[in-house]
Amino acid sequence: MKNVALITGADGGIGSELCKIHASLGGDLVIVARNSEKLDALKKKLEKIYSVSVYVIISDLTLPDATKKVYQEVKNKGIEVEYLFNNAGFGAIGNYWELNEEQNIGMIKLNVLALSELIQWFLPDMVKRGSGRILNTSSIAALVPGPLMTVYFASKAYVRYFGNALNEELRGTGVTVTTLLPGPTASGFGPRSGMDKTILFKKVATPSDVATKAYKAMLKGRLNVIAGISGLLRFLFLWEPFIPQKLLLRIVKRLLRV
C-alpha cells in the first residue's frame, strides 16, 4: 500500500468524506470504525471508483487496548501510515449527573483517550521517517464551556489544545498536526447526540464541504481550520471575549436546550 491514510470514524459523515478525498488523490486507506457493513460497502465503492487499496479494521476504540491492537495489526501487515485522521467521536446532551456512565466516560475514552493513544503509537514512526500529517477532529465546541454538553465540550477543548501544543513540539520534524473545528454538520452526530433538535442545527454544513476544507488545510500544515460556521455562531464567537463568563454560560446553555 502507498500514501496510506488511517481514518477513524470512517463509516459516515466527515470521516467517509475524508476517505473519498484521499482516495480520489490516489492514496490507499486503512479505515476504522465499529460498523462492518458500512465499512465493507465503503471499501468496495472506493476500490471500484478510484482503483486504490482499502484495508478495513472493525474496532470499538473505547475498549481497553483497542488502539494498540489497531497499531499492531497495521504494523503486522507491513502498512506504513503517512496520514492519521483522528475523526471518531460522539457527544450527548443532558445534565452531567443524569447521563449514564457509557455516555460520560465513553466520550472521554473515545474523544480524548483513543485519539491520544493512536498518536502515541503512530507518531514515533512518523518522526523517525521525517514525514507525516495528523488531522484531529475537534469542534467549535472547543472554544467555549458547554453546559448540557459538559463532557463533550471539554473533551473537544482537550483535542484542540493537545493538537496545537503537539504541533509546536513537532516543529522541524517534518510532521504536522492540524486541528479541525467544524460547526454543526449534517451527519450522524446530530441525531446521536440530540443536537439536531437544538437551534444550532437549523442550518448545517455538508460533510463534503467540511472535509474538503480540512484536508486542504492539513496538506498545508495549518494549525487550526474552522469550517461550517453559521451566522449565529460567528456572531457568538466574535463577541465571546467581551461577554462576561456567567452570561456566556447561560447563552450556550440556552442554545443547547432541546
pLDDT at 204 (0 to 100): 86
Q: What are the cell numbers at 31? A: 479505515
CATH number for the domain spanning 210: value is 3.40.50.720
pLDDT at 233 (0 to 100): 78
Q: Are 6 and 81 in contact (CB under 8 A)?
A: yes
pLDDT at 191 (0 to 100): 85
How far is it, in rounded angstroms, from Cα 134 to Cα 129? 14
Q: Would you say the pTM of this structure is higher than 0.85?
A: yes
pLDDT profile of the chain (258 residues), mean per 10: 96 96 98 96 97 97 97 97 97 95 96 98 98 97 94 98 98 98 87 84 89 97 91 75 89 88
How many domains, in total, are found in the chain?
A: 1
How far is it, in rounded angstroms, from Cα 212 to Cα 29? 17
Domain ranges, residue 175: 4-256
pLDDT at 241 (0 to 100): 82
Q: Are 82 and 4 in contact (CB under 8 A)?
A: yes
pLDDT at 68 (0 to 100): 98
How far is it, in rounded angstroms, from Cα 73 to Cα 32? 12
pLDDT at 132 (0 to 100): 98
Q: What are the cell numbers at 164? A: 496545537
